[in-house]
Structure 1
Amino acid sequence: MKLIGSGSYANVYKYKDTFYNRFFILKRAKKELTNKEIARFKREFDVMNDLSSPYILEVYCYNPDKNEYIMEYMDYTLNEYITAHNSNLTIIQRKKIAQQIFRAFDYLHSKGHLHRDISPKNILIKEYDDALVIKLSDFGLVKIPDSTLTTVNTEFKGYFNDPALIVEGFDTYSIIHETYALTRVIYFVLTGRTNIEKISNPDLRAFVERGLNPDKAKRFQNIRDMISAFKSI
Structure 2
Amino acid sequence: MASNTEPDTQTQVTTQQSGLWSQIESQPVENVIWGRLYGKNLKIKTLGTKNPLPLISRAASCSYDLCNESFHVGRGEDNDLCVGNDCLPKKILARISKVQFCLQKDIVDLQNPTYIVDKSRNGTFVNGNLIGLGKQMIIKNDDIIGLSHPMFRAFVYKDQFAQNDLKDLPKAISDTYYVGRKLGSGACGVVHLVYDTKSCTPYAIKHVKKNGLAESSRPKVLNDPQRVMNEVNIMKNLEHPCVIKMHDIVNTPDSVYMVLEYMKGGELLGRILSKKGLSEKTAKLYFLQICHAVKYLHAKGITHRDLKPDNILLRDSDDETLVKVSDFGLSKFVRKDSVMQTLCGTPLYVAPEVLMTGGRDSYTRKVDIWSLGVVLFTMLSATLPFADEYGSPAVEQIKRAKFQFRHHSWKSVSSTAKKLIYDILTVDPNTRPTIDDILRSTWMRDAEVIEKAERLMQMKLTGSKKSSSSDIENNNEKVFAEPPKKRQRTK
- Residues 109-129 of structure 1 show CA distances to partners (whole Å, capped at 9, x for unaligned) of 111211111111111111176
Q: Which residue of 1 aligns with 2:384?
A: 194
State yes or no: 1:164 paired with 2:353. yes
Residues 128 and 79 of structure 1, relative CA distance in 2, 3 Å threshold: closer
AA aligned to 1:157 is: G
Q: Pick from 280, 296, 320 the counterpart of residue 107 of structure 1.
A: 296
Distance in 2 (CA, whole Å) between partners of 1:14 and 1:38 is 30
AA aligned to 2:303 is: L
State yes or no: 1:55 paired with 2:242. yes
| Per-residue deviation, 1:92 | 2.2
| Per-residue deviation, 1:101 | 0.9
Q: Summarize the alignment of residues 13-162 of structure 1 with structure 2, pairs less than 5 Å apart.
A: 13-17=192-196, 19-30=198-209, 32=211, 34=215, 36=222, 45-65=232-252, 67-75=256-264, 76-86=266-276, 89-127=278-316, 131-145=320-334, 152=341, 154-158=342-346, 159-162=348-351
**Greater gyration radius:** 2
AA aligned to 2:237 is: D
- Residues 173-213 of structure 1 show CA distances to partners (whole Å, capped at 9, x for unaligned) of 31322211111112222333323513554322321221112
Distance in 2 (CA, whole Å) between partners of 1:90 and 1:205 is 14
Distance in 2 (CA, whole Å) between partners of 1:25 and 1:142 is 19
Q: Pick from 398, 409, 430 the counterpart of residue 217 of structure 1.
A: 430
Aligned residue for 2:372, secondary structure, equals helix
Contact preservation (8 Å) 1:44, 1:140 = no
Tell which has more relative contact order, 1 or 2 (C-alpha 8 A, sep 6+). 1
Identity among equivalent positions (%) equals 25
Distance in 1 (CA, whole Å) between partners of 2:331 and 2:251 is 20
- Residues 146-187 of structure 1 show CA distances to partners (whole Å, capped at 9, x for unaligned) of 59xx974x3332231113312224362313222111111122
- What TM-score results when the alignment is normalised by the length of structure 2? 0.41
Residues 179 and 120 of structure 1, relative CA distance in 2, 3 Å threshold: same
- Residues 36-60 of structure 1 show CA distances to partners (whole Å, capped at 9, x for unaligned) of 4685876664342121111111121
More helix by share: 1
Question: Alignment RMSD, CA only?
Answer: 3.1
| Further displaced range: 66-75 or 45-54 | 66-75
Contact preservation (8 Å) 1:95, 1:190 = no
Q: Which residue of 2 aligns with 1:7?
A: 187
Residues 21 and 129 of structure 1, relative CA distance in 2, 3 Å threshold: farther
What residue ranges of structure 1 are gaps of 5+ in the alignment? Answer: none
Distance in 1 (CA, whole Å) between partners of 2:345 and 2:437 is 25
AA aligned to 2:187 is: G
Q: Which residue of 2 aligns with 1:227?
A: 439
Residues 43 and 169 of structure 1, relative CA distance in 2, 3 Å threshold: farther
What residue ranges of structure 2 are gaps of 5+ in the alignment? Answer: 1-178, 386-402, 446-478, 480-491
Q: Which residue of 1 aligns with 2:374?
A: 184
AA aligned to 1:225 is: D
| Further displaced range: 67-76 or 100-109 | 67-76
Residues 41 and 188 of structure 1, relative CA distance in 2, 3 Å threshold: farther
Distance in 1 (CA, whole Å) between partners of 2:292 and 2:279 is 20
| Further displaced range: 12-21 or 183-192 | 12-21
- What TM-score results when the alignment is normalised by the length of structure 1? 0.80
| Further displaced range: 51-60 or 205-214 | 205-214
